């Protein structure tokens, strides 16, 4: 992954106000355990692709406070006076040199789930007559109080955004039925976010991105067609637009004789197709249609290309496509450019709902957020998760590993050292593809399955949860 380090102050202000209170209570050097997870499946999703873990690790490894950031804290109207009278907190920030602690995480690109819990005998796991929902932690971290507070906000930003993009992109790729999907969303988000989105979409199966920085830094294929700007820039006073459009098509095709996919809808799509064929003598690679894209208009374009002598030209369509429109168009178009409906994912615009919660505090107490009546309960203590062919098992960390299960949480950091190297992008992409292919057909579908992935709580976890509930 590309190393990019946002400001260490890119965090919620309450992380530092509460850190000050912890310091006053003598908890500044406490060692705590924290988990990153999401409680329920996002809208219209049968699975989530865990993504952003590499970015989170890179951020943690580079966590330092420079003089500029410390000066900003000291002049803050609320934090400044409080920190000024507590020099030990500022010193702890100055002393930070990256991450230190123990960190376990699922492998980048792992399919993860949340949903109704079953017991090991197959019965529903009920608390006060209501079925408990459980989840697969994405990250479990054991570190000091300071780092835990400083990492929570940026980690959630990476994981929420990139998992959202990867999960949406996988749906679009599935809908395309093997035809290429190009990620075109860079102009719909922040430039740094666009690079993360290009990576997330690519590991989920898109064929390429329009973002050249993704090619530069990550080796992801970057490609594109052309824009309306180019056609309009060719207009000249006294010259018919049909002529200037055709002239530009000819110029573009000479520059890229084996990759001339021409955008034909700047003025009139039918006339644009005719100009593209004429300008290239029928040798154009393809056309792109970016407006009024329907099954009927794509069929009409195909018939026109054939009649004009360019039957081999590909038809690439864009026009604010999502997975539903892509599925409708897949039998007729040859490729899809999808922008905001991947990088911004309007049906899950808040990400995947990932949160980070304390599971063991600095006094060694196993803790569980109950929030009775809200549905926001969390799982207590450190966990282990195991994948089986037909279900996932969530267990306590102290239990022996079950036979036949594949551990999902693996060690990635111990002490000051990363112990698991980053995996190559193509390897992650293959990993995602294999997992999706192994899902039951109803979980691969775009429609939400009435039989979600089975999540089983171990007997020990059931007992631990019951003990925490009873304590309340």
* Stretch 246-255: mean pLDDT: 97
Domain boundaries, the chain: 25-63+99-166+370-471, 173-347
Angle of helix 145-175 versus helix 191-203 axis, rounded to 10: 60
For 173-347, CATH number out of 3.20.20.70, 3.40.50.1110, 3.10.105.10, 3.30.565.10 equals: 3.20.20.70
Place 130 in a pLDDT band, splitting at 50, 70 and 90: confident
Place 348 in a pLDDT band, splitting at 50, 70 and 90: confident
Place 58 in a pLDDT band, splitting at 50, 70 and 90: very high
**Percent of the chain having pLDDT more than 90?**
90
* Stretch 355-383: mean pLDDT: 86
pLDDT score, position 128? 81
Q: 354-389: string of b/e by CB count within 10 Å (b at 16+)?
A: bbbbbbbbbeeebbbebeeeeeebbbbbbbbbbbee
Dihedral, CA of residue 357, residue 7, residue 1 and residue 149, to nearest 10:
-20
**What is the per-residue pLDDT across 154-209, written as a single tens digit (0 to 9) for each?**
999 999 999 999 999 999 999 999 999 999 999 999 998 999 999 999 999 999 99
Rounded to whole angstroms, how far apart are CA atoms 422 and 409? 15
Whether 97 shows a pLDDT value over 90: the answer reads yes
Whether 4 shows a pLDDT value over 60: the answer reads no
Among 327, 337, 277, 328, smallest CA distance to 302 is for: 277
Sign, Cα dihedral of 47, 45, 122, 127: positive
**What is the per-residue pLDDT across 404-418, written as a single tens digit (0 to 9) for each?**
999 999 999 999 999
pLDDT score, position 85? 96
**Percent of the chain having pLDDT more than 70?**
97
Asked if residue 209 lies in contact with residue 165, where contact means CB atoms within 8 angstroms, the answer is no
pLDDT score, position 317? 98
Integer CA distances (angstroms), 119 to 255, 378, 395, 454, 463, in order: 64, 17, 11, 10, 11
Asked if residue 365 lies in contact with residue 30, where contact means CB atoms within 8 angstroms, the answer is no
Asked if residue 97 lies in contact with residue 433, where contact means CB atoms within 8 angstroms, the answer is no
Bridge-based pairing state of the strands 31-38 and 354-360 = antiparallel
pLDDT score, position 350? 82
Rounded to whole angstroms, how far apart are CA atoms 407 and 54? 19
Place 471 in a pLDDT band, splitting at 50, 70 and 90: low
Dihedral, CA of residue 284, residue 286, residue 287 and residue 290, to nearest 10:
-150
Whether 375 shows a pLDDT value over 70: the answer reads no
* Stretch 210-233: mean pLDDT: 96
pLDDT score, position 349? 80
Rounded to whole angstroms, how far apart are CA atoms 265 and 252? 16
Query: What is the residue-averaged pLDDT of the chain?
Result: 95
Sign, Cα dihedral of 248, 254, 255, 257: positive
pLDDT score, position 148? 97
Whether 99 shows a pLDDT value over 70: the answer reads yes
> So what CATH class is 25-63+99-166+370-471?
alpha beta
Q: Please provide the DSSP assignment of 363-398 as one string.
A: TS-B-----TTTT-----S-EEEEE-SSEEEEEETT
In the block, which residue shows the tokens 């190009």?
Answer: 182
pLDDT score, position 68? 95
pLDDT score, position 2? 52
Angle of helix 87-94 versus helix 67-74 axis, rounded to 10: 160
Lowest-pLDDT range of 40-44, 46-50, 294-298, 445-449: 40-44
pLDDT score, position 43? 85
Sign, Cα dihedral of 39, 42, 47, 49: negative
Reading the block at residue 241, the tokens are 């637009």
Q: Please provide the DSSP assignment of 70-94 as one string.
A: HHHHHT-TTHHHHHHT-HHHHHHHH
pLDDT score, position 246? 97
């Amino acid at each position: 992954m590309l190393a990019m380090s946002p400001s260490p102050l890119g965090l919620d202000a309450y992380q530092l106000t509460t850190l000050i209170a912890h310091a006053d209570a003598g908890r500044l050097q406490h060692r705590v355990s924290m988990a990153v997870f999401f409680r329920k499946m996002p809208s219209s999703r049968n699975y989530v692709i865990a993504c952003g873990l590499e970015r989170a690790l890179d951020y943690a490894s580079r966590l330092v406070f420079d003089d500029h950031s410390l000066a900003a804290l000291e002049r803050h109207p609320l934090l400044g006076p409080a920190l000024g009278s507590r020099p030990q907190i500022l010193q702890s920030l100055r002393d930070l040199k990256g991450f230190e602690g123990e960190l376990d995480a699922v492998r980048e690109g792992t399919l993860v789930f949340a949903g109704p819990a079953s017991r090991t005998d197959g019965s529903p796991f009920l608390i006060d007559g209501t079925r408990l929902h459980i989840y697969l932690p994405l990250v479990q971290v054991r570190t000091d109080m300071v780092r835990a507070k400083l990492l929570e906000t940026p980690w959630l930003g990476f994981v929420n955004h990139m998992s959202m993009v990867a999960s949406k992109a996988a749906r679009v790729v599935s809908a395309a039925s093997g035809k290429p999907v190009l990620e075109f969303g860079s102009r719909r988000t922040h430039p740094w976010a666009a690079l993360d989105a290009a990576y997330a979409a690519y590991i989920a199966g898109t064929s390429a991105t329009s973002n050249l920085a993704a090619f530069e830094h990550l080796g992801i294929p970057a490609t594109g067609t052309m824009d309306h700007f180019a056609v309009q820039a060719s207009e000249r006073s006294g010259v018919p637009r049909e002529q200037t459009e055709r002239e530009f098509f000819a110029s573009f095709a000479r520059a890229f004789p084996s990759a001339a996919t021409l955008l034909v809808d700047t003025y009139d799509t039918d006339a644009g197709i005719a100009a593209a064929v004429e300008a290239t003598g029928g040798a154009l690679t393809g056309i792109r249609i970016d407006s009024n894209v329907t099954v009927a208009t794509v069929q009409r374009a195909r018939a026109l290309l054939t009649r004009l002598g360019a039957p081999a030209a590909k038809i690439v369509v864009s026009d604010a496509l999502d997975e539903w429109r892509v599925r409708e168009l897949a039998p007729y178009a040859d490729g899809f450019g999808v922008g905001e409906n991947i990088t911004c994912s309007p049906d899950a615009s808040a990400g995947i709902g990932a949160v980070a919660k304390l599971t063991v505090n600095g006094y060694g107490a196993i803790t569980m957020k109950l929030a009775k009546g809200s549905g926001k309960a969390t799982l207590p203590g450190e966990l282990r998760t195991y994948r089986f062919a037909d279900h996932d098992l969530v267990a306590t960390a102290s239990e022996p590993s079950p036979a036949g299960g594949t551990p999902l949480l693996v060690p990635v950091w111990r002490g000051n050292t990363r112990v698991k190297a980053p995996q190559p992008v193509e390897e992650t992409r293959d990993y995602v593809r294999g997992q999706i292919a192994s899902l039951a057909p109803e979980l691969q579908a775009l429609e939400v399955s009435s039989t979600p992935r089975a999540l089983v709580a171990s007997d020990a976890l059931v007992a631990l949860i019951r003990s925490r509930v009873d304590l309340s």
